[in-house]
């Protein structure tokens, strides 16, 4: 499981701050709402969570595969999804 951000779409106002602060290019804006589009590239540094003025982002352990040299990983733990209502997380490209 990887430590990655999730977005509460009901709280997001589309300000783009999270996208701008993310050095790894994990996030994008789609239809005016932040989207975790490329979780593989996430460095798990939670900068996006810190800059969000809406408290729309939080870090979650998400079940996924990928490059384990990037970001924080654990084996086992609590399964995702289920705890964040309105969460938008999608891998594209």
Give the binding site for ligand SF4 (CB under 6 A).
7, 12-18, 34, 51-52, 54, 56-57
At its nearest, how many Å lie between ligand SF4 and the CB of residue 35? 9
Smallest separation, CB 47 to ligand SF4 (Å): 10
| Residue placing its CB nearer to ligand SF4 in the complex, 13 or 25 | 13
Cβ proximity to ligand SF4: between 34 and 37 the closer is 34
**CB distance 8 to 56 below 8 Å:** yes
Task: Give phi and psi for 33, each to the nearest 5.
Answer: -135, 140
The residue among 14 and 66 lying less far from ligand SF4, judged by its C-beta, is 14
Look up residue 73 and give its two tokens.
Answer: 């990983």
Minimum distance of ligand SF4 from residue 64's CB (angstroms): 20
Assess contact for 11 and 55: CB atoms under 8 A. yes
**CB-based contacts of 70, cutoff 8 Å, min separation 6:** 24, 40, 41, 42, 43, 44
């Amino acid at each position: 499981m990887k430590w990655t951000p999730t977005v509460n779409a009901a709280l997001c106002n589309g300000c783009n701050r999270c996208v701008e602060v993310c050095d790894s290019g994990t996030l994008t804006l789609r239809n005016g709402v932040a989207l975790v589009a490329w979780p593989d590239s996430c460095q798990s540094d939670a900068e996006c969570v810190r800059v969000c003025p809406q408290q729309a982002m939080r870090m979650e352990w998400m079940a996924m595969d990928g490059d384990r040299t990037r970001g924080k990983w654990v084996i086992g733990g609590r399964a995702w999804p289920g705890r964040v209502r309105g969460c938008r997380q999608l891998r594209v490209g």
